[in-house]
């Protein structure tokens, strides 16, 4: 049941309704339709907060599978398109069936990057994206099937487990921006050249300066401004390539299965389904958090509708070139910071992303950002993911010796592929795909040890809601 809107005496915040309007006072802040003068800048803040995160997965995967500029542009456009569709479906929804109807952003998640890179490494060049997309589609179906019963599974994914996984996401992805900072192409003769490293360092310093001295909106979009200034600095040295702007069409709808028909490989599917469980946990936690921020009850049915949106977007996404879809925690932070709780603000942001996805020219603008610039920004982006995991772990009861062992062994298992890439070289192909991803390996160990220490031979346990709220 929705919490009633605040009365005139309390209506002083940015989401409040005018005291003279008795009709408007009955509208909950989540359902409030703001004036365009307030709606547009509020939506822009959401776009700024999520844009770098939306384009990061296609940039990384595109580079890994060796896509040319045109292919990279299509991948980015597809990511923007699916993010827009998923966010619109989540915020507006179909009452009683899909969409949590909260100011909640859905887009391609970075959590799936490492397992997808592992899938790419175990497949031939032409089969890399088809294998990835086949696994993603099955993960979407898995989410749709498990979503209605997910509350019963949440006790197996407490903050102790999700904290390990989120930390590993940031840690295992860190070699990606390091490679970008060195030029991106390991086969190039100038890979690791000092001018690349200098540009990456310059970009990082710019971001830090903006974060330190910037205020309000400028501070929120430090990553974007850092990449913009870094790109401009690269132009005089001939390190910025604008050729993609010449070949990219101004407007075009993504072509279904442009990268080939999906292939369904069991090991790849298992890996992505494990990641989907983690994404569902994050989405559920995000929905509970946004419900509290907006003072609107987020019950089991609301979470089910929200997860159904994740499943639909994840299943449909690969048809057009999209990747696994989940909640964007940074946008929950935007709602908390700005106090603008209207779901229509986020819907406008989703509609804008949808439009951006239809115009590949805009995706080409992103793809022309020099690799070293992305490297400098990526260190901040992926490092912040690891920090989020550490923050979750700090609230997970690490004063208990069993929990310390669980985290230690899980992190160790997750870091093995990073520290020794050839460790699983003699294992079967399916094991290489599952264990070769630090995220999948760490998640498997964390879930197994959580069962061993906290479920087998014990009674009761924390409820799903309590587990989520503690995260």
Q: DSSP letter for 221, please.
A: T
Lowest mean pLDDT among 44-58, 193-207, 368-382: 44-58
Residue 246, phi-psi category: left (phi > 0), alpha (psi -120 to 50), beta (remainder): alpha
Q: Confirm if 302 and 291 have CB atoms less than 8 A apart.
A: yes
Task: Say what the pLDDT of residue 1 is.
Answer: 38
Paired strand residues for 325: 108
**Smallest Cα–Cα separation from 188: which of 177, 200, 196, 198?**
196
Task: Kindly compute the dihedral angle of the four CA atoms of residues 241, 247, 252, 253, in this order, to the nearest 10 degrees.
Answer: -70
**Smallest Cα–Cα separation from 405: which of 445, 464, 352, 463?**
445
**CB-side neighbour CA atoms (13 Å) of 345:** 31
Segment holding 326, helix H or strand E:
strand 325-327
Whole-model pTM: value is: 0.69
Per-residue confidence at 344, pLDDT binned at 50, 70, 90? very high
Question: What share of the chain has pLDDT > 70, as a percent?
Answer: 86
Paired strand residues for 36: none
- Total number of residues shown for the chain: 471
Q: Which residue has the tokens 């070139």?
A: 321
Q: Which residue has the tokens 């992190």?
A: 411
Task: Say what the pLDDT of residue 204 is.
Answer: 94
Q: Compute the mean pLDDT over every residue in the chain, rounded to the nearest whole number.
A: 81
> Mean pLDDT, to the nearest integer, of 244-267?
80
Per-residue confidence at 220, pLDDT binned at 50, 70, 90? low
Give the separation between CA 121 and CA 128, rounded to whole angstroms.
Answer: 8
**pLDDT tens per residue across span 362-416:** 666 766 778 898 888 888 877 877 887 888 888 777 888 888 999 999 999 989 9
**Structure-token pair, residue 160:** 């102790």
> Mean pLDDT, to the nearest integer, of 319-327?
89
Which residues in 12-27 are b (16+ Cβ under 10 Å) and which e? eeebbbeeeeeeebee
Considering only residues 265 and 41, tell me which one the structure prediction assigns the higher pLDDT.
265
> Mean pLDDT, to the nearest integer, of 80-106?
89
Give the separation between CA 213 and CA 236, rounded to whole angstroms.
Answer: 27
Per-residue confidence at 32, pLDDT binned at 50, 70, 90? confident
Q: Where are the alpha helices (DSSP H) in 65-105?
A: 69-91
Task: Say what the pLDDT of residue 468 is.
Answer: 45
**pLDDT tens per residue across span 408-434:** 999 999 899 888 888 888 888 777 777
């Amino acid at each position: 049941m929705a919490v009633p809107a605040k009365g005139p005496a309390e209506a002083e915040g940015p989401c409040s309704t005018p005291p003279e309007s008795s009709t408007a006072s009955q509208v909950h802040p989540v359902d409030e339709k703001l004036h365009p003068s307030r709606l547009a800048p509020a939506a822009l803040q959401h776009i700024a907060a999520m844009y770098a995160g939306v384009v990061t997965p296609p940039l990384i995967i595109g580079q890994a599978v060796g896509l040319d500029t045109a292919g990279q542009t299509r991948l980015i456009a597809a990511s923007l398109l699916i993010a827009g569709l998923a966010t619109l479906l989540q915020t507006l929804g179909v009452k009683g069936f899909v969409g949590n109807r909260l100011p909640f952003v859905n887009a391609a998640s970075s959590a799936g990057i490492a397992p997808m890179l592992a899938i790419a490494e175990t497949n031939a060049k032409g089969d890399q994206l088809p294998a990835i997309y086949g696994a993603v589609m099955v993960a979407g179906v898995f989410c749709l099937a498990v979503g209605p019963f997910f509350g019963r599974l949440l006790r197996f994914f407490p903050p102790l487990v999700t904290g390990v996984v989120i930390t590993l996401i940031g840690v295992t992805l860190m070699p990606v921006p390091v490679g970008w900072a060195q030029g991106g192409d390991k086969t190039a003769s100038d890979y690791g050249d000092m001018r690349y490293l200098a540009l990456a360092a310059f970009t990082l310093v710019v971001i830090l300066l903006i974060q330190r001295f910037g205020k309000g909106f400028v501070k929120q979009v430090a990553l974007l401004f850092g990449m913009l200034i870094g790109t401009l600095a690269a132009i005089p040295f001939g390190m910025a390539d604008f050729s993609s702007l010449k070949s990219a069409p101004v407007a075009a709808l993504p072509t279904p299965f442009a990268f080939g028909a999906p292939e369904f490989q069991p090991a790849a599917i298992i890996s992505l389904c494990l990641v989907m469980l983690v994404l569902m946990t994050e989405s559920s936690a995000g929905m509970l958090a946004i419900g509290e921020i907006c003072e609107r009850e987020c019950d089991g049915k609301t979470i089910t509708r929200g997860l159904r949106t994740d499943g639909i977007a994840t299943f449909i996404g690969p048809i057009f070139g999209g990747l696994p879809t989940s909640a964007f925690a940074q946008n929950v932070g935007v709602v908390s910071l700005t106090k603008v709780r209207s779901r229509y603000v986020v819907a406008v942001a989703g509609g804008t992303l949808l439009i951006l996805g239809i115009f590949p020219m805009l995706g080409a603008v992103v793809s022309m950002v020099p690799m070293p610039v992305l490297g400098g920004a990526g260190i901040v982006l992926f490092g912040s993911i690891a920090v989020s995991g550490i923050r979750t772990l700090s609230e997970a009861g690490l004063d208990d010796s069993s929990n310390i062992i669980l985290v230690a062994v899980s992190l160790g298992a997750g870091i093995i592929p990073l520290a020794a890439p050839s460790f699983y070289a003699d294992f079967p192909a399916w094991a290489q795909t599952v264990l070769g991803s630090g995220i999948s390996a760490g998640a498997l160990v964390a879930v197994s040890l959580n069962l061993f220490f906290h479920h087998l031979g014990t009674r009761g346990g924390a409820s799903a809601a309590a587990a989520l709220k503690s995260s």
